[in-house]
A and B are shown apart, each in its own frame.
Chain A
Amino acid sequence: MNIATRATKMCTSVNKISTVICLLATLSISAYAEKLAITGAQIHTMSNKGIIEQGTLLIEDGKIKDVLTGVSVPNGYSEIDADGKVLTPGFIGALTNLGLVEVSMSANASDTNVDSSEISSVGAAYDTQYAINTDSTLLEITRLEGFTSAATGLSDTGQLFDGLGAVITLSKEFDSLIKGQAFMHVDLSSGGADRSGSRAALWVSLNQSLTEASIAQNTDLSPTKQWYGLISRADAAALRNVINGKIPLLVTANRANDILQVLSLTKRFPSLNLVLVKASDGWRVAKQIAAANVPVILDPEYNLPGQFDRLGATMENAARLHAANVKISIGIETHNARLAPQHAGNAVANGLPHSAALAALTINPATIYGLQDTLGSLEVGKQADVVIWSGDPLEVTQSAEQVFIAGKSMVMESRQTKLRDRYLNRDDKLPAAYSK
């Protein structure tokens, strides 16, 4: 019996109220244990096993070894008693700027926006994977809210496309890239149209860019060869993997007409792997979206006619899309990842089934980015990104008590908790800087 196991055994003998404290005390030791058994929790597997009311999750070598019904701790496993808790896969930030921004405004602490660069004429070439800062304090602040990975991309390039995004883990290790060139984003809503003044110009730019990228699939783009395209060589190189469907094309569109036009892109470019973003009017054309098998990343709380292309906005959008069999993801947040589960909970209050809301934070974003075989559910062989919650994760009064990334328990502290603790325990005889 190793130290961690002994500590856990001591904890299991005391009453439930102290479970959390024991849990935390134990985890600092068990961080290095290779085999963990998390027992007693209600497990939301996000797989065809559904919800296990009281189960055991086995973790070995950073991966999920097994998901069992009932409590059983095989030999050699350190037990973490999570009786009365809720277990989910780590949440995945569906569309964020994590790792790219520390302070959004006036602080030179943001890589989210590109000023135009001669390497690109339409913004497709920019590549987020080179801009990730794993020292960003946002990573552990986000992790504390039960998130273990996130898709991250540029906010604005001033050009047609917003470049290539990445998927990162929130482990804060130097190599945090799960997947580079994980998606391309283009804004075809009023926001995007405003740049060229009219959709009449916007869509011609888009069609032309994609057509050139199609041609570029079989073209040598090296500088010794000729290229007469309007998109730059670097843009063409990035976009040809969008045209062939290897890289999903995320499209922000809100108006029903715009959404239908986005869906019709596959008539001209059949291999496109489309994902809709926001889609305020999505509910009005939900059947068509479902028929095209296009998932939607949305902001379900958005219910105002903020622009003239969002007049149909409603908090029932998520529920109505889901009812039409559209796969939805929730989580367009950066500094406040915790709003994603809150808004998912609000979507439940507005008709979305709870299981669909959880899928919107886990397996659905994993699937969008082609990571469904490693992330997004608690299934044998997947990476052990796991969260122990105090209760229902969609309830604003519940929270993540322990987060594991690849089987490692994460320190549940952040710069914010340190500020809190400094001022909660301030020695008023000393300047604050001397309180640690």
Chain B
Amino acid sequence: MLINIKPKILVVIVLASSLLSACNDEKPAEQAAKVDKNPFPSTYQRIDYAPVVIKNVTILDGIGNRIENGSVLLVDGKISSFGTSVKAPNDAIEIDGTDKWLTPGIIDNHSHLGVYASPGTRSHSDGNEATNPVTAEVWAEHSIWPQDPGFQRALAGGVTSMQILPGSANLFGGRSVTVKNLPNRTMQDMKFPEAPYGIKMACGENPKRVYGDKGGPMTRMANVAGYRKAWIEAQEYQKKWNDYDTAVEEGKGGEQPGRDLRLETLAGVLDGEILVHMHCYRADEMAIMMDVMKEFNYKIGTFHHAVEAYKIADKLAENDVCSAMWADWWGFKMEAYDGIRENIPMVHTAGACAIVHSDSDLGIQRLNQEAAKAWSDGRKAGLEISKEEAWQWLSANPAKSLGIFDYTGSIEEGKNADVVLWSADPFSSYSQAEKVFIDGAMVFDRSNPDSWPVSDFELGQIAQGDAK
């Protein structure tokens, strides 16, 4: 029912507003209001911080290189220089990194922090708009509660940025958003300024389970029909707006088409402005989705969970689609039954883009260990991958998947100073993020309890400020 009602309401509103504007004055067509593509702009501000130099440290630059006994200089929020030695200004804070490791900050491209916040009360269940299988019109950022204590826990695990997605109940779950892990009063304060939007899509069991007795889809074939139907509508919508824009450019004017938030997001995908993040477990379904992608000429950036990616790693490489995976989760549902421990290294070895993701408020706190398990399981199966290469799974590849690799995700001069100093080799159960920097500011220091951020929710509760 809702599918039919919603667009009608929208049309009425659009008509009413166009009538109003027509009454006020006759605007020349070329001055017609452009659609604001950024109506909730980022208000993120980096913390001012003195220059920092970290010395004598083992550096993994996150793009395949290791520097022993290296140094990194962070100035004005950027990685100013790094190498076997750097020239630091006199006022730089000096940190000795002897026996410690330095890496780019971890980027989790699959989180539901803030949209499924702790405590996990029903009131905090804001991640799945499970009222319609196509809800491309909803935006996860409008559900994010910045006081979720999960953000601070993730920070202590070395996570500096993350993508927050809607859940996977729907074929199209809505827009995702990328944030810096520096929670503040508002979502906008966290929003990664340069990050493009993403859209969450879902294959397989979840839409079937949620809608099977609510009018469908109740089968995988109806899932695919649902994506295709939506893309056809999006193509029509895209054409209507393109035609209008062209007419305006040519000075011909014409009536501005009505806006439809759902189709606007889908058209944004077809225009290449919004990146596709698709929850998909099974190999055969991923292959079908790559054909749908070609049919409608859009790009799937990343398959999420991709438990069977190892079965079609060659096809994923050919199509340049990333896989965001767990190290070892499996078996919790039928489509996760063929999960294996070597999925990540097998995808990597096939030349495809592999990402370690969490999808968990606990897992996000030790993604380095997830990578370590995958790295180690790969080696035992004869897949030799160096640690410096493997770190791509945690920073560079997720940054690429989110469209922010120009800004973060590796230790390179001029990039955002998002780095983590680990107490030891981070491929270990025992090492911990000791100091975490976001845009050059030390935002977590394990050795200094006064520096630990505390969310409003935990303030005044038992164990406020305790070691977590």
Which of A's residues lie within 8 Å of B, judged by CB?
102-107, 138, 281, 284, 301-308, 310-316, 335-336, 338, 342, 345-346, 348-350, 394-399, 416-417, 419-420, 423-424, 432
Contact = CB atoms under 8 A, between A and B. Distances in A.
Contacts of A423: 310-311, 346
27 contacts: A104-B333, A105-B334, A106-B333, A107-B333, A303-B153, A304-B150, A304-B153, A304-B362, A305-B149, A306-B118, A307-B119, A307-B121, A311-B463, A315-B467, A315-B468, A335-B332, A336-B330, A349-B430, A394-B429, A395-B429, A396-B373, A396-B427, A397-B372, A397-B375, A398-B376, A420-B340, A424-B382
A308 B119 contact: yes
Between A284, A312, A335, A423, the greatest number of chain B beta carbons within 10 A of the residue's beta carbon is seen for: A423
B37 interface: no
B209 interface: yes
Between A304, A310, A314, A346, the greatest number of chain B beta carbons within 10 A of the residue's beta carbon is seen for: A304
B232 interface: no
B205 interface: yes
B40 interface: no
B44 to A, nearest CB: 25
Contact of B340 (A307, A314, A419): A419
Contacts of A336: 328-330
Given A103-B337, A304-B118, A305-B119, A314 B330 contact: no
Nearest to A339: B328
Interface of B: 118-121, 149-150, 153, 205, 209, 310-311, 328-334, 336-342, 346, 361-362, 365-366, 369, 372-373, 375-377, 380-382, 427-432, 457-458, 461-463, 466-468
A306 B331 contact: no
- Secondary structure type dominating chain A contacts: loop
Contacts of A316: 466-467
Contacts of B466: 312, 314, 316
Between A308, A314, A315, A336, the greatest number of chain B beta carbons within 10 A of the residue's beta carbon is seen for: A336
Given A281-B462, A336-B330, A345-B429, 7 more contacts: A107-B334, A284-B462, A306-B119, A346-B366, A349-B431, A398-B376, A420-B310
Given A301-B362, A416-B341, A103 B153 contact: no
Nearest to A338: B328
Given A138-B331, A419-B338, A345 B119 contact: no
A423 B308 CA distance: 10
Contact of B428 (A138, A303, A397): A397
A124 to B, nearest CB: 28
B458 A305 contact: yes
A103 B332 contact: yes
Contact of B381 (A305, A398, A420): A420
Contacts of B209: 106
Contacts, number: 134
Contacts of A104: 331-333
Between B329, B331, B366, B466, the greatest number of chain A beta carbons within 10 A of the residue's beta carbon is seen for: B331
Contacts of B369: 342, 346, 396
B120 A307 contact: yes
A284 B361 CA distance: 24
Contacts of B205: 106
- Secondary structure type dominating chain B contacts: loop
Contacts of A304: 118, 149-150, 153, 361-362
Contact of A103 (B121, B334, B467): B334
Contacts of A303: 153, 362, 365, 468
A349 B429 contact: yes
Nearest to A341: B429
Given A335-B330, A399-B376, A416-B330, A348 B429 contact: yes
B332 A105 contact: yes
Contacts of A315: 467-468
A374 B223 CA distance: 53
A301 B360 CA distance: 12
Contacts of A348: 429-430
A314 B468 contact: yes
A423 B340 CA distance: 11
Contacts of A432: 311
A396 B429 contact: yes
A102 B334 CA distance: 9
B62 to A, nearest CB: 19
Interchain residue pairs A-B with the least CB separation, the first 5: A345-B429, A397-B376, A335-B331, A105-B333, A312-B463
Contact of A420 (B342, B365, B463): B342
A408 B362 CA distance: 37
Contacts of A335: 329-332
A106 B121 CA distance: 24
Given A305-B118, A335-B332, A399-B376, A345 B430 contact: yes
A247 B72 CA distance: 59
A335 B416 CA distance: 39
A343 to B, nearest CB: 9
Contacts of A342: 369, 373, 429
Contacts of A350: 467
Nearest to A395: B429
Contacts of B120: 306-307
Contacts of B118: 304-306
B77 to A, nearest CB: 30
A352 to B, nearest CB: 11
Between B119, B372, B382, B429, the greatest number of chain A beta carbons within 10 A of the residue's beta carbon is seen for: B429
A328 B375 CA distance: 30
Contacts of A346: 366, 369, 429
A418 to B, nearest CB: 9
Contacts of B332: 103-105, 335
Given A305-B461, A399-B376, A416 B339 contact: yes
Contact of B331 (A103, A311, A399): A103
A316 B369 CA distance: 18
Between A308, A396, A398, A417, the greatest number of chain B beta carbons within 10 A of the residue's beta carbon is seen for: A396
Contacts of B428: 395-397
A398 B428 CA distance: 9
A45 B121 CA distance: 44
Nearest to A312: B463
A399 B380 CA distance: 9
A138 B372 CA distance: 23
B381 A424 contact: yes
A419 B209 CA distance: 27
B208 to A, nearest CB: 9
A336 B119 CA distance: 25
B245 to A, nearest CB: 46
Nearest to B455: A305
A335 B326 CA distance: 14
Nearest to A255: B462
A301 B149 CA distance: 15
A397 B387 CA distance: 12
Contacts of A312: 462-463, 466
A406 to B, nearest CB: 26
A402 to B, nearest CB: 13
A7 B372 CA distance: 34
Contacts of B458: 305, 311
Nearest to A299: B362
